[in-house]
Structure 1
Amino acid sequence: MPLRTALVRLSPIAAAFALGITLSACAGTGLVNTRTQGYVIPNDAVQQIRPGVSMDLVRAVLGSPQTTNTFGGQTAWYYIETKVNQTAFGLTTAQERTVLAVYFDNNNRVAERAVYGLEDGAVFTIEGQRTPSFGQDATFVQSILSSF
């Protein structure tokens, strides 16, 4: 009987010890991981992009763009770098965003380049309503019963 009471007294201590070891393992690696998503924009490569440079040279220096836009005969290439913090629980927040936009004229030469940051963007809310579908919303059980 004394062995059983000793085990009952030691079980909360053992649980606290196991929890402490688990949390210390998380603290060593950190609960927040900072990483870069998208394209890493090197500063020396940005300096090489000047007005009059050909589209082929931009592709050679920066690589293929992530997004392109063609409007009115002019083309724009976008390179996007986002630095995010991700917690161990999967929550991701953007800390810094840099967008390099390279605008080309009708001769496929650089007309202008611009660097935009997170503060240049606009935050908008996504509408949570949904468009009703044709017919009647039915549960799984109702749809099975209606087939009989």
Structure 2
Amino acid sequence: MTKAGVKNSGSNRLRAAVLVAAVTVLLPGCSAIRESRGYIVDPVLTDAIQPRIDNQQSVEGTLGRPTFTSQFGKPTWYYVSSITGQRPFNRPRIRVHNVLAVQFDENGRVVDVSRSGIEKVVFLDPNGNKTPTLGRERGFLEDLFGNIGQVGGGGLPGGAPGGGPNGQ
């Protein structure tokens, strides 16, 4: 083999090693991200909650504190969990959503245990281009420069008289 052939062979090996290293470093960035949020559901524990037998203390001892509680109506504890998935360059999407609702009577005993899933989730599609406000439409420059001369301490040029609290 000539010197040029040996030199090309070493150069090709170096290029291949750099290519393999680059692929090894960049490829994990293309994998999906999975994230769990909220209460981690353990079917053995959730199935152990029995109506008319358990009370608030036993539920708290078994499942822990709820994600949130009802503010109106019958006392209800909600245990909420979501699993989201995200592909590179995309927004996260809910893959699995579970709500365990434990309803109590006025004495604190379990009346009902119900489960719901993603079918009850409301997906909103907000308009990202503008925020609706009441009143007249303002332009960009009005938003940017609209307060110049409007706000200031009392006695300062351009400020309102009596700049303190309650106009004092």
| TM-score, structure 2 normalization | 0.63
Alignment map for 1:23-34 (pairs within 5 Å): 23-28=23-28, 30-34=30-34
CA RMSD of aligned residues (A): 3.4
TM superposition shift of 1:93: 0.8
Contact 2:29 / 2:88 at 8 angstroms: preserved in 1? no
Query: 1:102-147 CA deviation, whole Å, 9 max, x = no partner?
Result: 1111111110001111123343444765123589662434543778
Instruction: Identify the range of structure 1 (27-36 vs 95-104) with the bigger mean alpha-carbon deviation.
Output: 27-36
Unaligned runs of 5+ in 2: 1-14, 152-157, 159-168
1:93–1:113 Cα change, 3 Å: same
1:111–1:57 Cα change, 3 Å: same
CA distance in 2, matches of 1:55, 1:69: 14
TM superposition shift of 1:88: 4.2
Unaligned runs of 5+ in 1: 1-13
- Determine helix, strand or coil for the equivalent of 1:144: coil
Higher strand share: 1
Instruction: Identify the range of structure 1 (25-34 vs 40-49) with the bigger mean alpha-carbon deviation.
Output: 25-34
TM superposition shift of 1:81: 1.0
> Which residue of structure 2 lines up, in the alignment, with residue 68 of structure 1?
69
1:136–1:98 Cα change, 3 Å: closer
1:66–1:139 Cα change, 3 Å: same
- Determine helix, strand or coil for the equivalent of 1:71: coil
> Which residue of structure 1 lines up, in the alignment, with residue 132 of structure 2?
130
CA distance in 1, matches of 2:149, 2:21: 54
> Which residue of structure 1 lines up, in the alignment, with residue 3 of structure 2?
none
Report how many aligned residue pairs link the two structures: 134
Structure 2 residue 83 is matched with structure 1 residue 83: yes
CA distance in 1, matches of 2:83, 2:39: 10
Instruction: Identify the range of structure 1 (129-138 vs 86-95) with the bigger mean alpha-carbon deviation.
Output: 129-138
> Which residue of structure 2 lines up, in the alignment, with residue 140 of structure 1?
144
The structure with the larger Rg is 2
Query: 1:4-31 CA deviation, whole Å, 9 max, x = no partner?
Result: xxxxxxxxxx8xx978744532324653
CA distance in 2, matches of 1:62, 1:56: 10
- Determine helix, strand or coil for the equivalent of 1:101: strand
1:38–1:18 Cα change, 3 Å: farther
> Which residue of structure 1 lines up, in the alignment, with residue 55 of structure 2?
54
| TM-score, structure 1 normalization | 0.71
Query: 1:50-94 CA deviation, whole Å, 9 max, x = no partner?
Result: 10211000001111011110433x211111110111234462111
CA distance in 1, matches of 2:144, 2:20: 46
Higher relative contact order (CA 8 A, sep 6+): 1
CA distance in 1, matches of 2:100, 2:111: 14
